[in-house]
Amino acid sequence: MTDNVNINTTKTENNRVIIFDTTLRDGEQSPGCSMNLEEKLKMAALLDEMGVDVIEAGFPIASKGDFEAVNEIAKIVKNATVCGLSRAKKADIEASGEAIKPAERRRIHTFISTSPLHMKYKLQMPPEEVLNSVIESVSFSRNFTDDVEWSAEDGSRTEHDFLCQCVEAAIKAGATTINIPDTVGYAIPEEYGNLFAMLMNRVPNIDKAILSVHCHNDLGLAVANSLAGVQNGARQIECTINGIGERAGNAALEEIVMALRTRADLLGYNNGIDTTKITKLSRTLSSITGFNVQPNKAIVGANAFAHASGIHQDGMLKNAQTYEIMTPESVGLTESKLALQKHSGRNAFKNKLSELGYELGENSFQDAFQRFKDLADKKKEIYDDDLIALLEDNIASESNTIQFVSLQVQAGSKGPQVAEITLRVDGEEKFVKCEGNGPVDATFCAIRALVPHDDAKLELYQVHAVTGGTDAQAEVSVRLREGDRTVSGSSADADTLVASARAYIQALNKLIARRDYRNPQTARNEVNP
């Protein structure tokens, strides 16, 4: 047993809410949201910098890649507790214990289903056997860390008497956090809140653990349910950036945190999150996964602080508080304004990067600066959002097996549509010329000709403008599927076809990188606390 005591394993002050981020575990289970090691490390570092209390880094037993990711995250995280997920199986727990070992603060999160439906059909175990499994898994987890979280999967549909038995037993066995998930997003706020009130009143040793909420968004109630749980005794919220996750997703971290901050007058709870990092994290995740945030998404959507109505605009000019309940600056959003142009030099560019929160090495800076100059030659006005899209695309393209070099496309109504593309594959430049059914198809056909991947199918091709105007950068998202592996890529460029090629190549690089590993989702079919 270790002496691993921290804010997450002891009773917090009454109004302190622990933010448990599961973007890298539950969020990654969203189809197409899988991340490679470099991407996970980048997200983990940003989450740590933001002030997240617990980072659920992955499900170590799921695959070699998942184990490595959790292990490497455990080495770099400076402040947050690093958590590994485990089923109620010794092999799972051992894998988590080994993966999180390098972390200064570490947690094992073990779970088992407790609802009648799950016990009968999924586990095919009687309640008595499930209860014994709770005790054994928690006790065994204590061999690796003092910080053990136990979850009652499908807790919101579990019979109250049995749930109380399991919670009491888990705490006696050494669990310091008890999570009651709304696994399928079935609960409504009053019902979910009452569930926690019931546990607070009926479980005799409940004061020895922190209660946690984990809500899914199948009915669009994940955030509301999470807040209801906190109002009734929970002091940890499990959530994800942009609300990504299984099916309709998880409770969105940015919505949770800003609700707690904006309505502190009513809720009265605090947390350690630096909210000015929210926008950057949201955009970074979107760039990595290729999942664009809907424009009307709360807090981080493109329209979250936009006002089109004349009445609203008039009110905003007189006093911003008439129609804004929080400031754009509070979530790290800077006004999109003309910042740089083609005559701007390296120092001006570097200063702007610093303002946007980016610190690049010399080689990366030179590459980004050249791409900025190329963009400035094409666009009259360059906005912050243009630069962010360019930077994220530049970072995503580093250390790839396949690298984009050049593209020339012949298109038009008379045809034929022809793409000439040059790629650098394993350091060697290769060229091909291909016809296709339209310029995009020709471009993708050319990529397939240079890097054959006949089993991979294009599932999604999506284009939207980063900023306004006819010279706006196009941001393209691509999703590829090969067997049970799904990967996404995204890229932005003033030329839609160049952005399309870069996005496709990014997705293909991810696919190649993952061919050596068993798909984590194979094991994760059983995982959905």
CATH of the domain at 484: 3.30.160.270
* CATH assignment at residue 37: 3.20.20.70
Cα Rg, the chain, nearest whole Å: 24
Please identify which residue in the block is written with the tokens 């962010």: 388
Does residue 148 sit in the same domain as residue 225? yes
Report the distance separating Cα 432 and Cα 410, nearest Å.
14
Does residue 114 sit in the same domain as residue 214? yes
How would you write 158-218 as a 3-class SS string? CCHHHHHHHHHHHHHHCCCEEEEEECCCCCCHHHHHHHHHHHHHHCCCHHHCEEEEEEECC
How many degrees, rounded to 5, is the angle at CA 71 between CA 69 and CA 75? 110
Does residue 309 sit in the same domain as residue 370? no
Does residue 493 sit in the same domain as residue 383? no
Does residue 107 sit within a domain?
A: yes
Q: Do residues 64 and 89 touch, judged by C-beta distance below 8 A?
A: no
Among candidates 457, 460, 431, which has minimal Cα distance to 446? 431
Does residue 249 sit in the same domain as residue 351? no
Query: Number of folded domains in the chain?
Result: 4
Tokens standing for residue 279? 């926008």
Does residue 212 sit within a domain?
A: yes
Q: Do residues 484 and 522 touch, judged by C-beta distance below 8 A?
A: yes
Does residue 361 sit in the same domain as residue 458? no
Report the distance separating Cα 395 and Cα 214, nearest Å.
32
Does residue 526 sit within a domain?
A: no
Does residue 10 sit within a domain?
A: no
What distance, in Å, lies between the first and last C-alpha atoms of the chain? 26
Does residue 277 sit in the same domain as residue 315? no
Q: Do residues 34 and 486 touch, judged by C-beta distance below 8 A?
A: yes
What is the predicted pLDDT for the residue at 6? 40
Residues paired with 182 in a beta bridge:
215
Please identify which residue in the block is written with the tokens 């049970």: 484
Query: What is the phi/psi pair of residue 114, to 5°?
Result: -130, -5
Report the distance separating Cα 157 and Cα 139, nearest Å.
25
Does residue 528 sit within a domain?
A: no
DSSP secondary structure letter of residue 121: I
Among candidates 43, 37, 24, 62, which has minimal Cα distance to 509? 37
Does residue 529 sit within a domain?
A: no
What is the predicted pLDDT for the residue at 421? 97
Full domain range(s) for residue 440: 397-514
Does residue 23 sit in the same domain as residue 88? yes
Report the distance separating Cα 341 and Cα 421, nearest Å.
29
Per-residue pLDDT of the chain (529 residues; tens, 9 = 90+): 333 434 333 344 689 999 999 999 999 988 778 888 989 999 999 999 999 999 999 999 999 999 999 999 999 999 999 999 999 999 999 999 999 999 999 999 999 999 999 999 999 999 999 999 999 999 999 999 999 999 999 999 999 999 999 999 999 999 999 999 999 999 999 999 999 999 999 999 999 999 999 999 999 999 999 999 999 999 999 999 999 999 999 999 999 999 999 999 999 999 999 999 999 999 899 888 878 888 899 999 878 887 656 676 567 667 878 878 998 889 988 654 445 677 777 887 887 777 777 777 787 788 888 888 888 887 766 777 777 777 766 655 555 789 999 999 999 988 899 999 999 998 899 999 999 999 999 999 999 999 999 999 999 899 988 776 777 788 898 989 888 778 888 888 889 999 999 999 988 988 887 664 444 344 444 566 7
Does residue 479 sit in the same domain as residue 495? yes
What is the predicted pLDDT for the residue at 8? 39
Does residue 42 sit in the same domain as residue 172? yes
Does residue 283 sit within a domain?
A: yes
Distance of CA 8 to the CA centre of its chain: 21
Does residue 171 sit in the same domain as residue 82? yes
Pairing mode, strands 148-153 and 417-425: unpaired
Does residue 311 sit within a domain?
A: yes
Does residue 140 sit in the same domain as residue 82? yes
Among candidates 213, 257, 262, 256, which has minimal Cα distance to 233? 213
